[in-house]
Structure 1
Amino acid sequence: MRTKNVPASSPDPDNTARTFAVAGHLVSAPKAAPGLHLVATPIGNLGDITLRALETLAGVDIVACEDTRITRRLIERFSITATLKQYHEHNAEQARPKILEALARGSSIALVSDAGTPLISDPGFKLVREVSAAGFPVIALPGPSSVLAALSVAALPTDRFFFEGFLPSKQNARRTRIAELARIDATLVMFESGARVQECLHDLASVMGERDAAICREMTKLHEEVRRATVSELAGISDALETRGEFVLVIGPPAADAGLMNDAALDDLLRTSLARGSVKDAVAHAVEVSGRPRREIYARALELSKDGDDG
């Protein structure tokens, strides 16, 4: 890369140079190679952008992004001129063929999410699947990730972790999923919205109460906050939590002597399963995730089923 000691606002005289600004200097960027470039962008602090990401955003023909307003703020911050096209869950089916057509013409395209690494909790994997199946290059530019940022500061084991994304929004489905996650021998990482974080913590506490955990809010932003305690303790203070912003929850793995699923969690699991299907299916699912004996679970399922019929 070559730098020019001119103000970042200096015009490009022939309107053909590809440049970006760093510390008041314009940096020349080569035209990006044809293909789909997966560019990680900051999750809060714009200073976390990499030089390679800036060079690529300046050098591609098209930047495919979730929200053009958010991406425009990023590229304008670094004086990049780029053609922005929307690619998000609501227009993905229509946008993917157009992206493939552009790649077939030899275009270079950057895919970015609103924040963090593309494909993490967004529809980008479908695009990558079709682009790679069509034989076009897919190039990864690693960088910011709220998952890894939260995991690194949680003070919990990092040798194995399981990323869940968002838990179900409805309580019964959420409790069922938590019961399933409880048996995974790894640190758990999940997203949650401020509107649901309190009720989510209470549901987590009912199954994973004594596990060590961390709540990470607004990672890398001005009001970043990390709280570490057991899940039960965090649930106990959840009413006092600041709920504005974005949350990542990190929960440590089960202890070696954690034992079997407790009665309350088993009942929640069975009730949810019975509402969706037969006693046989509910029992089979509960045996798989709870570790408790089939005969015991079957007897409890019959009781709950009978209670439901009586009601």
Structure 2
Amino acid sequence: MQRWRHAGDRKNFGDWLVLTIDIQMDEAGLQAACEQLIAATSDMEKFLDLGNGKQSSDYKIIFRHGDTIVHERAFFHEGVKFAALRSLISQYVSNVNHESNTWQDEYHPRGSYAIAELVLADQNYIPQFAQLLFNWDMGHETYHYRLIDKLFEKYGYTEQTLFLLAARVCADGQHSGENVLRALYRHGFKRQIVLEDFVSVALAILPDPESAWQLREFARIYAGEDKAQYAQVTEIFLNALRKDKKFAAVLDEVQDSFAEDYDEHQLMEVAGFLADETLGDWNEGLDEALVESTDLSKLLPLEAT
């Protein structure tokens, strides 16, 4: 394993950190590489130290199998096939996300390649992914919307995807509404979801009481153009808020927010949105940086690890 400083040649980006790891593609070799990753990222300040008095803002990992370069996503795709390695990959994701709003490159929050393959292989890691939505900059989504939709499609309505749906609502983001709409109407969640369960999970993971108004968007999408149903959903949500003392200070404000939406705004036209939407390939965004290559001639060696 070797750390390198790559001389920056991208506009608005300085030098960045490159980690190279020589691997074997069997289970033992992949496990050894995962353990090296965990060791390297256990201290992120040290990991991102470029040796010139500066910290790298992003990083790239290059896995080498002999003369073949193995992309991160391909490495983790192989790694998650072995159940014993999944907890190691999960630990790596935790290591690189100990701070908020961190990016690995222009397109991907840290650990994106790893967590994407992990949740596609095992839905028990969906809660970890869901919690990352509160950590990442969801105002600048790339692949997130499509991956979340793929998870709803793949696993259907489960305890884990209910948690993801609640996190998607509470963490907001550019495409939160679209994800909720597709979960409810494309993937059948509306026929199965118990609203009391949903609001219980949502209130437990809200980052702060002031964010409770975000439940309004879910209510609008759930009810569609049915105002009577909107009123029913509103009452279920407000009853849950009334029972939890931590929301006492914001209850009137949230209640007014729901009432304003009911009285003054047209509720979402679900059928029209579904007719007009185009989702595209779910891999779009996640694979966007695969076309980038690292100029190995610009790698300046740091200390071997």
| TM-score normalised by the chain length of structure 2 | 0.31
Structure of larger gyration radius: 1
Structure of greater relative contact order (alpha carbons < 8 Å, 6+ residues apart): 2
Which one has the bigger strand percentage?
1
Which one has the bigger helix percentage?
2
